[in-house]
Copies of this chain bind each other. A is one copy, B any other.
């Protein structure tokens, strides 16, 4: 080791003056700028330098120091008044929600997808939470907003936002998945991209008033057993909710990730039904009616039910079954390196907490247990990680989750045996990614 840029480490005099020596600094800057070509070669060559390990880097070559430094250390940047509300780097402009134009007749009754392939951790930033509308985003002035509760109650009442905000509230992390997530895949591997196969999901810290607190204000009559929640958008989207859920963990939520709800996510008030299908999380909620039986609304009869092979339909399938997916590698994130690569993914269960995630490299014949970094929270997305060594051969990547009820995420074959292929909802089957010999990743169907 005869690095010329180690001067600060051996000369303590200059360090005590408050900075490494200018000689050491100048030499670093030249070194830092000069490795672009070398680093690119490392990536292309696929060999991890340094210690045997999971990742590459470039060992410093003091004989190859280039003359220039990156310009970003050479001028003052934006001050603290530049962006009262900040935004992502322009270099991240590809990380956006995307819709599929052919999927629906209009964009007002359609969906876009969370770019889960580009996300880290389990929090979804508010600007990237997928949208699913039936009549577009309702534009609500919170000063004009009202929530009415009527039906089988002692005192029908109307609440302003100011009223709602005076109640005690809770803040909890919950995943929110559309029942149609992965719905295109029932009849085969249709969409190439995890954003499209699994991106109708988000996970944020919701803050709201427990619905039971509000129901206690109006007083549910003894024969009140069901709630009808009605949205304030032009479609008047409505769903029936059993009273037990309303009295359990249901929130009337006004905030996500610290700030007030985004308009496309129900501003200023929406239902949060932890673990249950997203369609029931009524946005821009304007009315709750208490009744003695369910309403059998459009969205729980002709939609959000599963037509079985024998012509019967499953309905009121509220809880989202345990599910997982590998978000890297995936079609959008090919394998670039031979040697050790990271596997990362997301797992969740509407019935409780993720207990274990397994990963397979051979299409489900052999499994290895993935790591579940803290915190693991109930009805919340859970991150998993594992490593795999890629030697350039084909790999069939899969993940499968087991939740704390003992439920094991099924294969598509197992699910089809009991459900057929008619549904577009509630596909929680194991996803298979084929890593081909060039490192590209394809959505494939096994067996």
**B residues within 8 A CB of A33?**
144, 146
Bound form: Cα–Cα A87–B126 in Å: 8
- Which residues 125-157 in A have Cβ within 8 Å of B in the complex? 125-129, 131-133, 135-146, 148, 150-152, 154-157
- Which residues 339-383 in A have Cβ within 8 Å of B in the complex? 340-342, 344, 371, 373-375, 377, 383
**B residues within 8 A CB of A3?**
150, 156
Shortest CB distance A442–B (Å): 22
Chain copies in the assembly?
2
**B residues within 8 A CB of A332?**
none
Bound form: Cα–Cα A228–B219 in Å: 63
Bound form: Cα–Cα A387–B53 in Å: 54
B35 contacts A146, C-beta separation under 8 Å: yes
The answer to the question of A312 belonging to the interface, with a C-beta cut-off of 8 Å to chain B, is no
Number of interface residues of A (CB under 8 A): 170
The answer to the question of A51 belonging to the interface, with a C-beta cut-off of 8 Å to chain B, is yes
**B residues within 8 A CB of A1?**
154-156
Bound form: Cα–Cα A150–B81 in Å: 36
A135 contacts B295, C-beta separation under 8 Å: no
B289 contacts A255, C-beta separation under 8 Å: no
**B residues within 8 A CB of A53?**
216-217
Bound form: Cα–Cα A39–B81 in Å: 38
Q: Choose the segment among A169-177, A184-192, A417-425 that binds chain B (4+ C-beta atoms closer than 8 Å).
A: A169-177
Given contacts A76-B135, A85-B88, contact A18 B159 (CB under 8 A): no
A217 contacts B20, C-beta separation under 8 Å: no
0 or 1 for each of A83-99: is its CB under 8 Å from B? (1 = yes): 11111110110011111
- Which residues 46-91 in A have Cβ within 8 Å of B in the complex? 49-51, 53-60, 70, 72-89, 91
The answer to the question of A12 belonging to the interface, with a C-beta cut-off of 8 Å to chain B, is yes
The answer to the question of A168 belonging to the interface, with a C-beta cut-off of 8 Å to chain B, is yes
Bound form: Cα–Cα A54–B167 in Å: 6
B16 contacts A139, C-beta separation under 8 Å: no
Q: Choose the segment among A114-122, A273-281, A426-434 that binds chain B (4+ C-beta atoms closer than 8 Å).
A: A114-122
B57 contacts A291, C-beta separation under 8 Å: no
A72 contacts B133, C-beta separation under 8 Å: no
B72 contacts A284, C-beta separation under 8 Å: yes
**Other-chain contact of A85, B128, B151, B159, B342 (Cβ < 8 Å):** B128
**B residues within 8 A CB of A232?**
70, 72-73
Given contacts A85-B97, A232-B73, contact A28 B148 (CB under 8 A): yes
Bound form: Cα–Cα A374–B173 in Å: 10
A157 contacts B234, C-beta separation under 8 Å: no
The answer to the question of A270 belonging to the interface, with a C-beta cut-off of 8 Å to chain B, is no
Bound form: Cα–Cα A49–B159 in Å: 11
**26 pairs, CB–CB < 8 Å, chain A vs chain B:** A3-B156, A8-B289, A20-B238, A20-B295, A39-B162, A50-B155, A51-B217, A54-B168, A56-B163, A57-B159, A57-B163, A59-B158, A70-B146, A72-B284, A76-B108, A80-B131, A89-B142, A89-B263, A89-B268, A91-B268, A92-B259, A120-B260, A121-B171, A169-B385, A375-B375, A375-B377
The 10 closest A-B pairs by CB, nearest first: A79-B107, A77-B136, A121-B171, A55-B166, A84-B96, A120-B255, A9-B151, A120-B207, A77-B137, A80-B112
For the complex with contacts A70-B146, A77-B135, A81-B107, 12 further pairs of A-B residues with Cβ separation under 8 Å are A6-B150, A15-B296, A56-B166, A70-B144, A79-B106, A79-B133, A82-B137, A85-B87, A119-B259, A120-B259, A123-B205, A166-B341
